[in-house]
Amino acid sequence: MTPPCVLFEDEHLLVVNKPAGWNTHAPAPFAGEGIYDWLRHREPRWASLAILHRLDKDTSGVLVFGKTPLANKSLSEQFEQRKVSKRYLLVSDRSPPTTELVVRGNIARDGERYTSLPSDAGGDPAETRFKCGIGNAECGMWEVAAEPLTGRTHQIRVHAAANGFPILGDTLYGGTPAARVFLHAEQITFTHPATGEAVTFRAPAEFAADARLGLRHALVGAQTPTNTTVRLLHGAADGWPGWQVERLGDFLLSQSEAALTDAQTAQLAAWLAQLSLRGAYHKRLDRRVRETKTGQASPQLVLGEPAPERFPVSENGLQFEISFTEGYSYGLFLDQRDNRRRLLTGHIAAEFPFTLHPSPFTVLNTFAYTCAFSVAAAKAGARTTSLDLSKKYLEWGRRNFALNGLDPTAHDFIYGDVFDWLRRLAKKGRAFDAVLLDPPTFSQSKESGVFRAEKDYGKLVALALPLLKPGGILFASTNCATLSPEEFLATLEVMIQRAGRRITQQHYVPQPPDFPITRDEPAHLKTVWLRVS
């Protein structure tokens, strides 16, 4: 399914409406994917996407990517020769000095900021035309159109601030704090690289909308039958430290260590109305969950009507059963959505496809939980083996198979300790085209004792490798907060080398964009796809 953020696509161009709060590209190796990275690795036809221009993380609007060498060359030249026309819209709570203003000067970097300088004082020349449109002195807001004639970093933000009307929300340049930076790339016009005709792409500004919802809608849409699950609010990254909210079909699930505040309850009520949902639940996060009874650990209804004991939700066109009555876990980990899509589509990343042939392509899903990975692989045509310590969750997995028109009897479901069964399967000479490792951070069984990801993940990999066919795919994942990405990858590399095997392809995947990674809310999920010879 084409993501809702896509405005236009042809053989040469991909045009998107980038939401506020999403980088154009990843700022660091283990940071969250930018919209470019997320798109490039999503579809085979987008594997050669090229960045032609950029928008700041907190700026929304029209962004153009090239798909062919012709487009990349043509658009790069048009940008360099200033033949591309761009129109932005900004809001300020301070009145511009005139209705029309042309700002010329140089821009130079100053730490994390950029500064406006006289034309003879160093830096790079920059020019912006401003036109004040709708102004409302009573509410203290002014809407200003901005046309950058050059393309310097932070150019509009710097020039607006230097002339007394910093953008609302742009605290880096003296703007009044707000829910987002009120700057939007509204329109872009250029010559199509193949037809030679002028083309214009537009996306209206939606400053009044909730920017957090805007990001999520760009990923999965507001109301789509193929995707009804998304994390709407991710803690401090979305301005609410310690609080997470997920949409699960027609219901909201709120999670935090404390009871809901009045402000949080009001936010849930607003989303229920805005998204036309039926009810909201709240789950108290408890570190001593193993000592808590099922009824106490289960989410509690706080608004609206109660959910059925079991109900389906949609993700990437697949159906999964959810339950708020089974205790701490409700049946699906949303942060693995994109990895399930990779299994479903047979496309891991740009330059890293995998094929479901020779048939049957076999997948071993360890710590299978409710078998969501297995469902995605089976829907793509694989023969799956799901291994878990819980009979209850394996039965739940069988129901997930049936929900998607898959015959559970055509696949294997093994109840037991993962470590014990990895040894048993190896003794039987079993081998798989793909092995999936997604263990809990902490687990305990009679057979293997205590498992802690930070110290025992290597042991798990060593037991899994004999079951992986030469050239097979190893998927390794952990949400252990104390295990850094560098340490995690190093552990995998060491164990693979010790087994006398070699990594021939690798793709590291952070958590998806609806789980934003920021300094205030660091990444918890670390996953990597490996082809092992």
Tens digits of per-residue pLDDT, 351-404?
A: 898 876 667 899 999 999 999 999 999 999 999 999 999 999 999 999 999 999
Mean pLDDT, rounded, for 77-84? 95
Active site residue 124: no
Query: What φ, ψ does residue 333 adopt, rounded to 5°?
Result: -100, 110
Determine if the peptide bond prior to 516 is cis (ω within 30°): no
The CATH number given to 6-202 is 3.30.2350.10
Range in 150-154, 274-278, 358-362 the model is least confident about:
358-362
Residue labelled with tokens 């998304």: 230
Q: Which pLDDT band, with edges at 50, 70 and 90, does 288 fall under? A: low
Q: Which pLDDT band, with edges at 50, 70 and 90, does 456 fall under? A: confident
Q: 3-state DSSP call for residue 419?
A: helix
The CATH number given to 333-532 is 3.40.50.150
373: Cβ contacts below 8 Å, ≥ 6 apart: 336, 339, 340, 343, 363, 365, 436, 438
pLDDT at position 319 is 97
The residue among 532, 529, 510, 509 whose CA lies nearest residue 521 is 510
Tens digits of per-residue pLDDT, 195-218?
A: 999 999 999 999 999 999 999 999
Domain boundaries, the chain: 6-202, 211-315, 333-532
Range in 393-402, 433-442, 505-514 the model is least confident about:
433-442
Distance in angstroms between the alpha carbons of the first and the last residue of the chain: 32
Residue labelled with tokens 């048009």: 78
| CA separation for the pair 363, 339 (Å, rounded) | 14
Percentage with pLDDT > 90 across the chain? 82
Which listed residue (10, 37, 56, 238) is catalytic?
Answer: 56
Query: What φ, ψ does residue 183 adopt, rounded to 5°?
Result: -135, 130
Tens digits of per-residue pLDDT, 484-495?
A: 999 999 999 999
337 in Cβ contact with 320 (< 8 Å)? no
Question: Beta strand 251-256 with 279-284: parallel, antiparallel or unpaired?
Answer: parallel
Range in 220-229, 313-322, 481-490 the model is least confident about:
220-229
Query: CA 440, 398, 329, 255: dihedral to nearest 10 degrees?
Result: 110
pLDDT at position 447 is 65
User: Of residues 510 and 396, which shows the higher confidence score?
Assistant: 396
pLDDT at position 179 is 92
The CATH number given to 211-315 is 3.30.750.80
Please return the burial class of 122, using the count of CB atoms within 10 Å of its CB with bins 0-12, 13-18 and 19+: exposed
Query: What φ, ψ does residue 232 adopt, rounded to 5°?
Result: -85, -30
pLDDT at position 441 is 75
Q: Which pLDDT band, with edges at 50, 70 and 90, does 292 fall under? A: low
User: Average pLDDT of the chain?
Assistant: 93
Residue 519 has which token pair? 């300094």
Query: With 60 as the cut, is the pLDDT of residue 138 above it?
Result: no
Residue 127 has which token pair? 């020019």
